Structure 1
Amino acid sequence: MTRHWTPLALVYLCLAVVGLVGTWFFNVLAIVQLRDFLGDLVTSGPAVSSISVDLLVVALAGSVFVIVEARRLGMRFGWLYVAGSALTAFAFTFPLFLAMRERRKTQLAFAVE
């Protein structure tokens, strides 16, 4: 079973953990400070708005990729990665999906042999 964890899958898994911890640190900080999270994204100036739009477009493109790639590889419940990003962060769910995708590709390669 452990043979499916390739070095690339482990790198993606580490990035998922960094994404989860990094984003949730600031989410908790915003909650403790009683900040208007969505309002801050839009009204904190053009640079923040630019980054917000940039990341939103990347997250949407990544979400399409996750759903299409999960179907292509026969990964069940691929849509949960997209839905989970609303509860955690896309910085967590996308690298997590990439790690699971690497595992699936390795499983499929071993199945052919």
Structure 2
Amino acid sequence: MSRHWSPLAVTYLALAVAGLAGTWYFNVLAIIQLRDFIGDLVTSGPAVSSITVDLLVVAVAGCVFIVVEARRLGMRFAWLYILGSGLTAFAFTFPLFLALRQRRMTQLKASVTPTPVPPQG
């Protein structure tokens, strides 16, 4: 891997892969069983509805964070993470964003060269 992949970035990347594998395992299971995915989310009782609302609010807050941080760090195409979360899972795209954010911060830190201080006489 590149020198800009810090241990924290690799950790986020591993979480992204776990999020993608874990959510898509159950998505494929729902497809095979011909389940009404959206219907199951909202009609399987108050506990499932509570978890759904909880995760939805966190996902929206995460999307706002993605846009704000991407702009602050000069990362392009932040909207792709948000679009991708609808196609895959936020459990995948958010840690992926965090991994690439960490990589970008490491890259920016490495590009800043300290200014030499002239000797005091």
TM-score (ref. length: structure 1) = 0.98
The yes-or-no answer on 1:92 pairing with 2:72 is no
Q: Which residue matches 1:15?
A: 15
* Between structures 1 and 2, the one with greater helix share: 1
Instruction: Give 5+ residue unaligned stretches, structure 1.
Output: none
Q: CA deviation at 1:3?
A: 1.0
Q: CA deviation at 1:105?
A: 0.2
Instruction: Give 5+ residue unaligned stretches, structure 2.
Output: 114-121
TM-score (ref. length: structure 2) = 0.92
Question: Which one-letter code corresponds to 2:16 in the other structure?
Answer: A
Q: RMSD between aligned alpha carbons?
A: 0.8
State the SS of the aligned residue for 2:35.
coil
Q: Which structure's CA Rg is the greater one?
A: 2
Which aligned runs of 4 or more in structure 1 are off by greater than 4 angstroms? none
- State the aligned residue count: 113
Q: Distance in 1 between matches of 2:10 and 2:107?
A: 15
Post-superposition CA distance 1:62-85 (Å, at most 9, x none): 000001100100001011101100
